[in-house]
């Protein structure tokens, strides 16, 4: 693994921040100052220190429940709009988070944000048959015929 990637996976830095920290000569690898982030390390045996403090990887899976507000997109990045990942913003936040499933930009509701790909697959894969319930608020009147259609369920293309 590259040293800059290791630093970003500790949860303390983004990859860009890790490169700056390395260039500022605050990082030691097995006692030696390191100046290049692209250097390969063995995360199991090498000792990496930042300002004298031994670093360890933050490999734990994390799970957040987020009540997604309207106007925010269910994506990891977007050039125009705020994303659900932007809403989870605090020191030490893991950089590999993604939403499990999607809600439309104007929809609100529960989203799970995680870095656990296996968990996400088990929730959203059609083969796993995990049912989901949605609530829609409509304006106007709905006929008895429409109520019957909705109550029986329908498959959307």
Catalytic residue set: 104
Distances (CA, A) of 84 to 14, 67, 77: 18, 9, 9
- Sorted by sequence, the CB contacts under 8 Å of residue 85 that are 6+ apart come out as 75, 76, 77, 97, 98, 99, 113
Q: What are the E-state strand segments in the chain? A: 27-29, 32-33, 48-50, 53-54, 63-68, 98-100, 109-114
């Amino acid at each position: 693994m590259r040293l800059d990637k290791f630093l970003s996976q500790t949860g303390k830095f983004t990859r860009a921040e890790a490169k700056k920290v390395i260039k500022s000569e605050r990082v030691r690898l097995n006692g030696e100052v390191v100046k290049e982030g692209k250097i390969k390390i063995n995360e199991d045996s090498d000792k990496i220190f930042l300002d004298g403090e031994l670093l360890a990887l933050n490999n734990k899976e994390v799970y957040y429940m987020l009540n997604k507000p309207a106007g925010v997109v269910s994506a990891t990045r977007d050039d125009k709009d705020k994303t659900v990942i932007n809403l989870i913003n605090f020191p030490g936040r893991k950089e590999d988070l993604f939403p499990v499933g999607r809600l439309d930009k104007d929809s609100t509701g529960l989203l799970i944000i995680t870095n656990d790909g296996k968990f996400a697959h088990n929730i959203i894969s059609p083969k796993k048959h995990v049912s989901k319930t949605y609530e829609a608020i409509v304006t106007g009147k709905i006929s008895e015929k429409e109520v019957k259609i909705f109550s029986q369920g329908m498959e959307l293309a």
